């Protein structure tokens, strides 16, 4: 018999990890030039841009697989805080043309990852 709470955790893990993974694959294919320029504009070294591969490739895979989920989720939280601070700080509560927040997607990733830190992976996961 399926446990609804564990099934819900699995759905959150697959959704968060799966959707964020697309962003990581995009950066893997197209490079980190945009992030490097943003870092440079804030006086930070461009090599830090490669950290995005941890936050948008490795961490989502950890979350999807349920392997060290809380650590993976924490890495996603850090990734999103950095992304919001570097690129979106001026849009924290800005509304889009359709009435929703401009940063809905960023907040979804950030808060879903934060929820997983507290919830854990559930029982449908790789054995640690």
pTM metric for this prediction: 0.92
Report the C-alpha gap between 6 and 11 in whole angstroms.
Answer: 9
- Mean pLDDT for all residues in the chain: 93
List residues bridging with 95 in a β-sheet: 101
Q: Which residues of 39-51 are buried (b: 16+ CB within 10 A; e: fewer)?
A: beeeeeeeebbeb
Q: What is the pLDDT of residue 120?
A: 96
Q: What is the pLDDT of residue 94?
A: 82
Residue 56's pLDDT band, with cuts at 50, 70 and 90, is: very high
Report the percent of the chain where pLDDT is more than 90: 82
Residue with tokens 């809380």: 70
Q: What's CA 38's distance to the chain center, in Å? A: 18
């Amino acid at each position: 018999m399926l446990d609804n709470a564990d099934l819900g955790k699995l759905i959150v893990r697959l959704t968060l990890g799966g959707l964020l993974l697309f962003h990581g694959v995009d950066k893997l294919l197209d490079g980190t030039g945009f992030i490097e320029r943003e870092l440079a504009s804030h006086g930070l070294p461009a090599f830090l841009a490669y950290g995005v591969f941890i936050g948008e490739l490795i961490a989502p895979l950890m979350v999807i697989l349920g392997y060290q989920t809380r650590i993976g989720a924490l890495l996603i939280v850090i990734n999103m805080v950095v992304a919001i601070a570097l690129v979106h700080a001026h849009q924290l509560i800005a509304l889009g043309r359709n009435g929703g927040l401009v940063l809905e997607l960023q907040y979804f990733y950030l808060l879903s990852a934060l929820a997983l830190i507290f919830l854990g992976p559930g029982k449908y996961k790789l054995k640690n």
